Chain A
Amino acid sequence: NAGVMQNPRHLVRRRGQEARLRCSPMKGHSHVYWYRQLPEEGLKFMVYLQKENIIDESGMPKERFSAEFPKEGPSILRIQQVVRGDSAAYFCASSGGNEKLFFGSGTQLSVL
């Protein structure tokens, strides 16, 4: 039973480009969470999604960031027109609706 799969593991973008981060939850899980960890800081909640629905996006920056979890396929975190301050580790977690979250290995985004 595969765990939470995130890809790519490392993503390098130049300022102004778009970044797409993918997350496939554990089999049977329909709840997905995205967190961001800046250098030397803790994990910050970004968004909580269930299939085709955004439940809580209170941690998402108002501009350039969007997330989706379609009926088929992985959840996508999309960052448009990236800036250097977007460089961080982005972690995805999934759950089956109970309290236990399982995290993916993360995507390290580096903006040049």
Chain B
Amino acid sequence: RKEVEQDPGPFNVPEGATVAFNCTYSNSASQSFFWYRQDCRKEPKLLMSVYSSGNEDGRFTAQLNRASQYISLLIRDSKLSDSATYLCVALIYNQGGKLIFGQGTELSVKP
């Protein structure tokens, strides 16, 4: 079983749509969580951290449910520029710390 699993993609949505990505993790040693964005297999870039209380950054809302080992990302009012692969990431504090990436979910926003 993969340590971090994401919804299979791709997601094809029209501009202005709301889209939600889900992610589950299996390693209880996972301490922190993030969403990264990757464009065309370039370097991943941090989108936002994820907290149990939920956090919002503009059109993006992230949520963590530790009891269910579940993470989500909600994008409201999708823009063409949101088209990318979204990576769910867990930080595991075991032998130092390392980021474990999900396989990514591709989002394509159409006009």
Contact = CB atoms under 8 A, between A and B. Distances in A.
A103 B98 contact: no
Interface stretch (B36-44, B52-60, B66-74): B36-44
Interface string A26-54: 00000101010100011111001010000
A106 B99 contact: no
Interface in B1-57: 32, 34, 41-46, 49
B43 A42 contact: no
Contacts, number: 51
Contacts of B99: 33, 45, 93, 101
A18 interface: no
B103 A41 contact: yes
Nearest to A37: B41
Contacts of A105: 42-43
Interface residues of B, number: 22
A1 interface: no
Contacts of A103: 43-45
A91 interface: yes
A45 B3 CA distance: 12
Contacts of A104: 43
Contacts of A55: 95-96
Contacts of A89: 41
A63 interface: no
Interface of B: 32, 34, 41-46, 49, 87, 91, 94-104
Interface of A: 31, 33, 35, 37, 41-45, 48, 50, 55-56, 58, 89, 91, 93, 99-101, 103-106
17 contacts: A33-B99, A42-B102, A43-B101, A44-B101, A45-B99, A48-B95, A55-B95, A56-B95, A58-B95, A91-B44, A93-B99, A99-B91, A99-B97, A100-B46, A103-B43, A104-B43, A106-B43
Return the 8 tightest CB-CB contacts between A and B, nearest first.
Answer: A42-B103, A103-B43, A55-B96, A56-B95, A43-B101, A42-B101, A42-B104, A48-B98
